[in-house]
Structure 1
């Protein structure tokens, strides 16, 4: 009997995902509301499938994904998130995900992704060709964002949401000084004049 873990910090989302999974024949469904819980349940129960959000307390989603992959537990990971596919789908593929579904899609896409993954296939959206769909400014900014490491991208989003260095340090288990260093590096890499402009940059690229 296949088992599945739903990792999402929103109870309403978990309930909707569980409905889809029950329709797909899953009887054993575990739930987690933080990255640490996800990793703990994966280690303890080795579910066949993990439906994972990228934005949860207790661990950056990409880091959680990479740690699941590194643990060598034979489970497949389907990322179900509100994060922009243009910036996250390829990163998730590289980190070991078998599927990526944006929450802006209908639940039918989630049905199809679950079905594909459990049949041994992958499920990823066909992203529009950058040269056609993006204007010059957006293309240039996407190229800058693509140069960021997963940790830099996570810190960038936290800063753009207005979090202080101290709060980010606590969330990501880093020192205040390390976050400050990342902040300086981000300002340089993204070619913005000051941290206040990081929010505009993130909003323009649908990262917050």
Structure 2
């Protein structure tokens, strides 16, 4: 009996994915609305497939994905997210995901991805060649973003959304000092004048 876990903090998205999975023959479908719920549920329910969003409360999807893969849990993970494939697909692939589907695509892409993954294949979009599709500025900024660790990228997005250090520390279970250190490092790595410019940088690259 095929089973799945949908991990997404938006009830409407979970409902839509649930309908799609039922059409694909999944009989047992579980739901999680925050990142820290996923691993315990995966261990308890042992789903064949996890449909995972990258932006969730408590623990972001990249952290969840890494923990699933390093935790020795046998399940396939399909990332279904609104995050930009250009910056996240390769990270997800390296962390062990079997598929990456953008929420901006037609749901037919999700159908195809589920089919592919359950048949033992992977499903990833073909990204545009950097030399062809990106301007010199975009290439340079993408290279900077690619040097960030997964945690740095997560904190960068939180800062760019205007979330303060204390709130970020609480969400990611870090100390205020650690977040402050990350912030300083991001300003240096992304070559911006101050944290104010992090938002412009993120918006320019469709990260928020």
Interval containing the TM-score (normalised by the shorter chain):
over 0.9
* Superposition deviation, residue 61 in structure 1: 1.0
1:80 aligns with 2:111: no
Aligned to 1:114: 114
Match of 1:186 in 2: 186
Q: Which runs of 5+ in 2 are unaligned?
A: none
Question: Secondary structure at the residue paired with 1:51?
Answer: strand
1:2-17 superposed matches below 5 A: 2-17=2-17
**Residue in 2 that maps onto 1:173:** 173
RMSD of aligned residue pairs (Cα, Å): 0.5
Superposition TM-score, scaled by structure 1 size: 0.99
The answer to whether structure 1 residue 59 and structure 2 residue 59 are counterparts is yes
CA deviation after TM superposition for structure 1 residue 174, in Å? 0.4
Which structure 2 residues correspond to residues 1-208 of structure 1 after superposition, within 5 A? 1-208=1-208
Shift of 1:58: 1.3
Q: CA deviation at 1:39?
A: 1.1
Distance 2:46 2:25 in 1: 18
Q: CA deviation at 1:73?
A: 1.3
- State the secondary structure of the residue aligned to 1:12: helix
Deviations 1:36-73 (A, max 9, x none): 11111001111000000000001021010000111111
TM-score (structure 2 length as normaliser): 0.99
Distance in 1 of aligned mates of 2:19 and 2:107: 10
1: distance between equivalents of 2:28 and 2:71?
21
Moved over 6 A (4+): none
For the residues of structure 2 that align with 1:71 and 1:48, how far apart are their CA atoms?
15
Unmatched 5+ stretches in structure 1: none
How many Å separate the matches in 1 of 2:71 and 2:45?
Answer: 13
Deviation at 1:195, TM superposition (A): 0.2
1:170 Cα deviation from its structure 2 partner? 0.3
